[in-house]
Amino acid sequence: MISESNLVKNLNEYLHVDEIKDDTVNGIQVDAPGPIKKIAFAVDARRDVIGEALKLRANLLVTHHGMIWNGIKRVVGKNYSLLSMLIKNDMAIYTSHLPLDIHPEIGNNVMMARLLDAEITDTFMDYKGTEVVLMAELPKPKKVSDIARSISDSLDIEPLVCFGDKSAEQIAIMTGKGGSALSQAYLEGADLLITGERTYMTYNESIDLEMPAIFAGHYATETSGIQRLMEKVEEEYDHECVWIDGFSEV
């Protein structure tokens, strides 16, 4: 089975999937007969992505967002549709959610800090025993609108920016759906929060606190980690790897 392969065992160890508590199942979510033939990488284990992986003749799909959240109670509707696709085609799914967000080498938060040439100085905001927000320091203060432009140029997305005329040096980073970190980032002394989803409540909170925020898209802020993971697998293994872009502006 693919779950018994050296690749999966090594990924589990590298990503610390057994040590980090999460709302999803990290590691193999759906198993399949081995050996591994081709590996597809994507942000989401969505129907269209699975379909594309099948067209590419991959039998392992590695994603940041898997298909199992808080367990499966009944195999009906979406669960039946996706599971039947996978089982009928002997395709496995491997997921790394929170472990990939916070990984110190290839994590989504770390990759955002590197994009801005910011030095990581701390972590904060406990979630099930793991600190999930990075604090990073820019080499010198920079206008928030200029920081947003750098992100836009690199990720090919137009961020929503609050208080773009202010300057920032201490930056809190929580990619994806990280708006819940804004108030604590403010208390921790951050000048700016960079996150993904453009939530109504976080936008209002940013205005009330006069705390700059950049909302750069959930998908856009969480492509770097899984792409870097693909590069690492390509560097260390002989398996053919392909990237599937399931682009979303959300």
pLDDT digits over 40-71, tens only?
Answer: 999 999 999 999 999 999 999 999 999 988 88
Residue 82 makes CB contacts below 8 A (sequence gap 6+) with 45, 47, 50, 67
Q: pLDDT tens across 27-37, in order?
A: 999 999 989 99
My answer on whether 165 and 78 are in the same domain is no
Q: Are residues 121 and 176 in the same domain?
A: yes
Q: Is the residue at 206 inside a domain?
A: yes
70 and 119 share one domain: no
pLDDT tens-place string over residues 196-245: 998 999 999 999 999 999 999 999 999 999 999 999 999 999 999 999 99
- Pair (29, 115) in one structural domain: no
Sign of the CA dihedral with 96 first, then 100, 101, and 103 last: positive
Taking the whole predicted model, whether its pTM rises above 0.75 is answered as: yes
**Which phi and psi angles does 74 have, rounded to 5°?**
-145, 145
Q: Any idea what the CATH number is for the domain that residue 7 is in?
A: 3.40.1390.30
Q: Which domain holds residue 43?
A: 2-96
Strand partners, 195: 215
The verdict on residue 250 lying in a domain is no
pLDDT, position 213 = 98
* Domain-terminating residue out of 96, 127, 143: 96
Pair (90, 130) in one structural domain:
no
Q: Both 112 and 69 in a single domain?
A: no
Q: Is 156 helix (H, G, I), strand (E, B) or coil?
A: coil
Task: Decide if 187 is inside a domain.
Answer: yes
Question: What's the total number of domains in the chain?
Answer: 2
Q: Give the chain's mean pLDDT.
A: 95
The pLDDT of residue 250: 57
Q: Per the domain annotation, does 232 fall within a domain? A: no
Same domain, 61 and 111: no
Lowest average pLDDT, out of 74-88, 131-145, 187-201, 236-250, goes to 236-250
Please tell me whether residues 120 and 205 are part of one structural domain: yes
Which of 48, 72, 96 represents a domain boundary (last residue)?
Answer: 96
Cis omega before residue 35 (within 30°)?
A: yes
